[in-house]
């Protein structure tokens, strides 16, 4: 396995690869969710490239860029165990030679970023799309693997690929959960014991919603009320019902509905996201 920290060498090594290339873009602190993407990429491609890069331009100044968990040695070992061909782990200066105000960015349209996570994280998806586009260009990936936990990110990246004719297939991979249903996230590392207990109420609320829907409850106000009761003690930023194909808001729940939640837990002030399809 090659460990590469610069663009020049990455381009050279990519040229040498024979067969298909699967890219797993990550910000490191790899957990079983990432490993499920890497395993799938390994099954479906001749070569797998994992990028490990905490992308500064997708963090607002008030966010957790500095304390975001970093464990490069462990990440490299995990990739090695999975048979990854290249780990690309660049410094910020390799990816961005200019300051943010002077960079060419890919900015998804307002109507897809003015809601859900985009609403409280202005500029976040510009940063995500821009780094993902760079990684597509640098790795020449045939397929790229993204988790469904970041559902709005997945939707926006797919749209970018369609709109800008990137020659890469986006593979959408299921959310991986702990046995007690907490969705895996690198930010779970921040959780105190109390926070973790409270955080469980996010998935509890979502699974309960799905149950209520299958029992015939379709009124969104009723579904939100019950869910907010379950998530009492959490600071719920949003609970929203969208069409899973268009991300347009729903007026009533149906089989195409995706329910998304973002909430903060009180002690560590960690912001967590999760979602569920009401039918599949």
Q: Does 36 bind ligand PAF (CB under 6 A)?
A: no
Is the CB of 145 or the CB of 213 nearer to ligand PAF? 145
How far is it, in rounded angstroms, from Cα 107 to Cα 124?
Answer: 10
Using CB under 6 A, which of 38, 95, 106, 131 touches ligand PAF? 131
* 186 close to 69: Cβ distance less than 8 angstroms: yes
Q: Does 63 bind ligand PAF (CB under 6 A)?
A: no
CB of 25 to ligand PAF, least distance (A): 4
Q: Does 176 bind ligand PAF (CB under 6 A)?
A: no
Using CB under 6 A, which of 44, 94, 150, 256 touches ligand PAF? 150
Is the CB of 45 or the CB of 153 nearer to ligand PAF? 153
How far is it, in rounded angstroms, from Cα 185 to Cα 131?
Answer: 20
Asked if 31 is an active-site residue, the reply is: no
How far is it, in rounded angstroms, from Cα 22 to Cα 62?
Answer: 33
Using CB under 6 A, which of 45, 58, 227, 257 touches ligand PAF? 58
How far is it, in rounded angstroms, from Cα 223 to Cα 246?
Answer: 21
> Is 66 exposed, middle or buried, given 0-12, 13-18 or 19+ CB atoms closer than 10 A?
exposed
Give the binding range for ligand PAF (CB under 6 A) out of 62-70, 124-132, 175-183, 210-218.
124-132
Size of the site for ligand PAF (CB under 6 A): 10
Is the CB of 147 or the CB of 234 nearer to ligand PAF? 147
Q: Does 90 bind ligand PAF (CB under 6 A)?
A: no
* 230 close to 205: Cβ distance less than 8 angstroms: yes
3-state secondary structure of 264: strand
Give the binding range for ligand PAF (CB under 6 A) out of 21-29, 66-74, 242-250, 258-266.
21-29
How far is it, in rounded angstroms, from Cα 237 to Cα 239?
Answer: 7
Q: Does 188 bind ligand PAF (CB under 6 A)?
A: no
Nearest in space to 241 (alpha carbons), one of 212, 271, 201, 270: 212
Q: In the structure encoding, which two tokens stand for residue 152, read together?
A: 């709005």
Q: Which of 23, 25, 30, 34 is catalytic?
A: 34
Instruction: Report long-range pairs for 245-250 (Cβ below 8 Å, ≥24 apart).
Output: 247/112, 247/115, 247/116, 247/152, 247/155, 249/115, 250/220
Q: Does 132 bind ligand PAF (CB under 6 A)?
A: yes
Given the rule CB under 6 A, which residues bind ligand PAF? 25-27, 55, 58, 128, 131-132, 150, 153
The catalytic residues are 34
């Amino acid at each position: 396995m090659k460990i590469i920290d610069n663009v020049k060498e990455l381009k050279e090594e990519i040229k040498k690869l024979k067969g298909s290339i699967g890219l797993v873009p990550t910000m490191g602190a790899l957990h079983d969710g990432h490993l499920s993407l890497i395993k799938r990429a390994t099954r479906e491609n001749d070569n797998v490239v994992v990028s490990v890069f905490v992308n500064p331009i997708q963090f607002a100044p008030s966010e957790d860029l500095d304390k975001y968990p970093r464990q490069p040695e462990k990440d490299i070992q995990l990739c090695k165990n999975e048979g990854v061909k290249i780990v690309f782990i660049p410094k910020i200066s390799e990816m961005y030679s200019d300051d943010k105000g002077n960079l060419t960015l890919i900015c998804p349209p307002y109507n897809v970023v003015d809601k859900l996570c985009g609403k409280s994280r202005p500029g976040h998806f510009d940063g995500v799309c821009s780094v993902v586009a760079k990684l597509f260009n640098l790795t020449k990936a045939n397929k790229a693997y993204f988790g469904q936990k970041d559902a709005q990110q997945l939707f926006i990246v797919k749209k970018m690929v369609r709109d800008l004719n990137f020659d890469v297939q986006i593979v959408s991979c299921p959310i991986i959960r702990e046995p007690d249903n907490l969705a895996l996230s690198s930010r779970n590392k921040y959780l105190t014991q109390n926070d973790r207990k409270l955080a469980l109420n996010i998935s509890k609320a979502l699974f309960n919603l799905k149950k209520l829907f299958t029992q015939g409850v379709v009124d969104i106000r009723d579904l939100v009320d019950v869910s907010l009761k379950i998530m009492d003690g959490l600071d719920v930023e949003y609970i929203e019902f969208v069409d899973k194909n268009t991300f347009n808001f729903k007026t009533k729940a149906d089989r195409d509905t995706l329910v998304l939640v973002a909430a903060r837990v009180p002690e560590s002030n960690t912001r967590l996201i999760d979602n569920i399809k009401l039918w599949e």
